Structures are given as C-alpha cells and as structure tokens.
Structure 1
Amino acid sequence: MSDAVRETLDRYYAALKAGDRAALRGVVSDEIEVHYPAPEGLLPWAGDWAGFDGFEKFVATVGDHLVIDTVEPLAVHVAGDTVITVLKGEWTVKETARTVRTETVNLFTLRDGKIVRYQVFTDTAALGIGLGKLAAA
C-alpha cells in the first residue's frame, strides 16, 4: 500500500473515531457517496447517502445506534484508486445492550487524496439480531 493511501485511510479512521468534522472534511470529498446494503428496514443506517451532508447523517445515524468497541484490521488490498479493508469488530447496540461481532469489508474509492465512495459489506443478520429486529436461530 502506498504511503499516500495509508495516510488517507489513517486520517479517515482517526477523524471518524474522534468525531472531528473538520478533519473528515479534509479527507472525504464533498461529493462522497455512501452505499450500505441491507434488507429494507433492517438497519437504520442502510441505504445510499450522498454528499458530505449525507455522509454526516450516515455517521450520526450509525452513532445513534452503535458504540464501536473494537475494530481490528485483518487485511488491506489496493488496486488503483480502490482500497478494500477487511476488519473484525465488536459493537454494542445502544438500545438493547447486545454485543455484535462481525467481519466487515469496507470498499473505498479515492480520488486526489480524498474518499469519493464508501461501501460497507457486513453481516447484516448479526446487526439485525443485535438491534432486536431478527430472532437468533
């Protein structure tokens, strides 16, 4: 991974963790697109979010429902302007106090040192169970 890509991701994750809006603006494009697929109505933050305002609403919606307990990077793959990160994480659902453990893939598209597209692929069933919207088997 190039130093520029590593720096962009490090800045993004640090700003996200700190809730630093100015730092996020420095690393996220004004035209960012967020795509978080899930069955309709399952996850409040699922769907498509556009622009920096949409990105902020997405982040706020996730934060309204989840506490990030731990995130461990497992792998990072870079192909041109695309970066794929594989993460293992643990989240606490605020409403139910349930712990959710998942592996998640984040797919970033970078342009001129900024994130222009952010896609998340995760275990939506585990999150749905954590939110109390699905029954555990």
Structure 2
Amino acid sequence: MMSVRETVEAFWKGHSAGDRAALKQIVSEDLIWTVVGGTSPIAKTYRGWDGFFGELLDGLAQAFWPGTLDMQLKGLYADEEKGVGILQLEESATLRNGNTVKLEIVDVMTVRGGKVVEVREVMDLAAVNKAFGF
C-alpha cells in the first residue's frame, strides 16, 4: 500500500496529466470533494466519481478553452500519522468567455488505505466568480 505522500504524489501526477485511469486507481469511488465557501456556484460538495470526474472536472473542461489550463505544483506536504496530504498549486486558464483566471489552490486530502477519500479545496472564489461571470 502506498504512503500518504506517495498517494498525493500519484494524485498530482495523474491530475496534472489529465489521466483519469490513473486517478481512478487512487481516488475512492466514494470520494467527497468540497470546494470550500458559500459565495460561488462551484463551492459545494461533489460526491463520488460522478461528482468529481463528471460534474466538477467535466464542467471545468467545458468552461476552459482547450489547451490553456496550466497547473504548477508549489508544494506537497504529507502527515503520515494523521493520513493527511496537502497540495499547493497555481492554476491558470483562459475561459471560453474570453476571461482568464489565475488562482492559488490548496487541497487538503484525507488518505486511507492508499486512496484519496476526502478533499477540501480552498481558493479565491471572488476571482473565480469574476472570471466565470457568476
């Protein structure tokens, strides 16, 4: 079984490459992914693979101009004892509406048995709302 650090590193590798097959190897089918906040339509809890891959990732893919998404890893931290990993990212993209978005994102991941089971994602929702026109 992978350590917390190995699991979070594998998540980053799969996510940044857009490799859903790899992600499904380390993301629990019962994943709970919460975009933290209450001031944006994307700030809610996405459940399971349908919520994460379907509603969240597919929704973002439809909003972004193809080929413009750029994700840069700024930090990766793991607490093996507590089963928690943290990804710090910088993400930018051009949206189909012509706006651009550039965000710092922090994902706090709970890992159990080599699988990501829960994520709390924090970002500047005002910048999201402005770029998406919410």
2:60 counterpart letter in structure 1 = V
SS where residue 6 of structure 2 aligns?
A: helix
Which residue is 2:58 aligned to? Answer: 60
Consecutive unaligned residues in structure 1, runs of 5 or more? none
Q: Relative to structure 1, is the Cα distance of residues 36 and 8 closer, same or farther in structure 2, using a 3 angstrom cutoff?
A: same
SS where residue 69 of structure 2 aligns?
A: strand
Q: Relative to structure 1, is the Cα distance of residues 36 and 28 closer, same or farther in structure 2, using a 3 angstrom cutoff?
A: same
SS where residue 55 of structure 1 aligns?
A: helix
Which residue is 1:84 aligned to? Answer: 86
Q: Relative to structure 1, is the Cα distance of residues 62 and 46 closer, same or farther in structure 2, using a 3 angstrom cutoff?
A: farther
Q: TM-score, normalised by structure 2?
A: 0.80
Q: 8 Å contact 2:94–2:101 — kept in the other structure?
A: yes
Q: TM-score, normalised by structure 1?
A: 0.78
Within a 5 Å distance, the mapping from 1:31-50 to structure 2 comes to: 31-39=30-38, 42-43=40-41, 45-50=42-47
Count of residues in correspondence between the two structures: 128
SS where residue 128 of structure 2 aligns?
A: helix
User: Higher relative CO (CA 8 A, sep ≥ 6), structure 1 or 2?
Assistant: 2
* Alpha-carbon offset, residue 109 of structure 1: 0.3
Give a deviation string over 1:9-54, Cα, whole Å, max 9, x none: 22112222333222111100111101113435x34x3311111222
Q: Write the distance in 1 (CA, Å) between the matches of 2:34 and 2:91.
A: 21
* Alpha-carbon offset, residue 62 of structure 1: 2.1
